[in-house]
Amino acid sequence: MDHSARIIEVARTTHPDLEFHVSDAVSFVPREGEKFDYIVLSNLVGDLVDVQRAFAKVRQICSSETRVIITLFSYLWQPAATIAELLGLKARLDPQNWLTPAQIINLFELAGLDVVTWGRHLLMPVPVPVVSSFANRVLGPLPLINNLCLNQYFIARRVRRDEREFSVSVIVPCKEERGNVAETVRSIPRMGTGTEVIFVDGHSVDGTPEEVRRCEHMNPDLDRVTVVTQDGRGKADAVRKGFAMATGEILMILDADNTVRGEELPKFYDSLVRGQGEFINGSRLVFPMEKQAMRHLNLLANHFFGLVFSWVLGQRISDTLCGTKVLTRENWKAIERQRGSFGVDPFGDFDLLFGAAKADLKIREIPIRYRAREYGEIKIQRFRNGLELMWMVVRGFRVLKQM
């Protein structure tokens, strides 16, 4: 029994509830209508004569939910591999395709596949008690050192382009936002087959719920405007309450402070429906902001978290705490299953981003205009919440980076 057959046999024994298929990448002929949940090409790309054609074949058996996973050796290890072969320390291989990450990503795109994330692991391939574990789990994921790892992995998807329209639910977490309600209702346009707006109130005492009821018929383009009181405390709890009540196929989060206007939301809808991403995140850090829109310390913290998240998630993120986020109901269910793995999130933004990465969702950012608040006060407690979010980053590193 060869190495691949042994791996499949172990997989079938370990996961008897899953169905495994093994095919030859060169002679493989896709069956009409056959689709798979996961397609794995393990250390195969280096041997293929035509990588793009193999990827194109793979695309034919992908649904919009399929994830294609490939692993291959880093081209930086080519000299070491050649020396090991000459010394008889490893089996001699046919001449390999030593491809850079940029070349792999380009071949995926030419075949109609979109890379969700990619990374490197296994800094020390030789097992040495304690030392190899420390090198691979602690040192290997670190920036710069990570470039020296032996293995590369890529996770890709088939781009989904839906022709039909979808229903939309806009969730607006709010607390003491009475003066912003009317403008929020007015600014949200109709999207897809219909749009509902759900204000989830955090036990306001300034008359916010009453103002929502007064404005519920203000915008004739909206199917429904309603308000409910959240069960617990904090924005994250409010968002989850709104998602549970929502009837739309697409779920949107819009902060009630009007720093981001509802007119921005159709861009998010279009990007999701066109398959440009599966989790659409707003970025306030691209266009110039109005004066006093964001305090300097908050701005620095947002830049810092953006850099750290881009490294941890393996996807480019510039603004982790933007309150405008959009995803489908199905993908929310996938994220919800990951909740609790990363610590306690007072706002829900980190929970959603970490969960999206863990579920292998393609994250796409859309630049938005960020305006100064005109009514009410900022709810963020910078130092306490900042420490909570830093702990979540540590947990995220352990879950997503330490393999």
Each residue of 205-244: pLDDT tens digit? 999 999 999 999 999 999 999 999 999 998 999 999 999 9
Average pLDDT over residues 309-319: 84
Domain boundary among 138, 158, 178: 158
130/22 same-domain check: yes
Q: How far apart are CA 178 and CA 172, in angstroms?
A: 13
pLDDT for 304 equals 82
Domain of residue 50, residue span:
3-158
pLDDT for 382 equals 57
145/176 same-domain check: no
Beta strands in 325-392 (DSSP E): 325-328, 363-367
3-state secondary structure of 401: coil
pTM of the model: 0.77
146/191 same-domain check: no
* C-alpha dihedral (60, 61, 64, 70), degrees to nearest 10: -100
369/227 same-domain check: yes
Q: Is the pLDDT of residue 175 over 60?
A: yes
Start-end of H helices in 216-273: 235-245, 265-273
Which range, 159-168, 247-256, 312-321, is most confident?
247-256
345/379 same-domain check: yes
177/139 same-domain check: no
Domain boundary among 90, 125, 158: 158
309/272 same-domain check: yes
Who wins on pLDDT, 2 or 72? Answer: 72
204/84 same-domain check: no
Q: Is the pLDDT of residue 380 over 70?
A: no
Instruction: Specify the CATH number for the domain of residue 210.
Output: 3.90.550.10
| Number of separate domains in the chain | 2
48/128 same-domain check: yes
What is the 3-class SS of 159-228, one letter each residue?
CCCCCCCCEEEEEEEECCCHHHHHHHHHHCCCCCCEEEEEEEECCCCCCHHHHHHHHCCCCCCCCEEEEE
Each residue of 25-46: pLDDT tens digit? 777 777 788 899 999 998 888 8
Instruction: Specify the CATH number for the domain of residue 10.
Output: 3.40.50.150
216/319 same-domain check: yes
Q: How far apart are CA 109 and CA 176, in angstroms?
A: 47
What's the mean pLDDT when you consider all of the chain?
Answer: 87
Domain boundary among 125, 158, 191: 158
193/265 same-domain check: yes
104/221 same-domain check: no
Which range, 159-163, 191-195, 344-348, is most confident?
191-195
Q: Is the pLDDT of residue 182 over 90?
A: yes
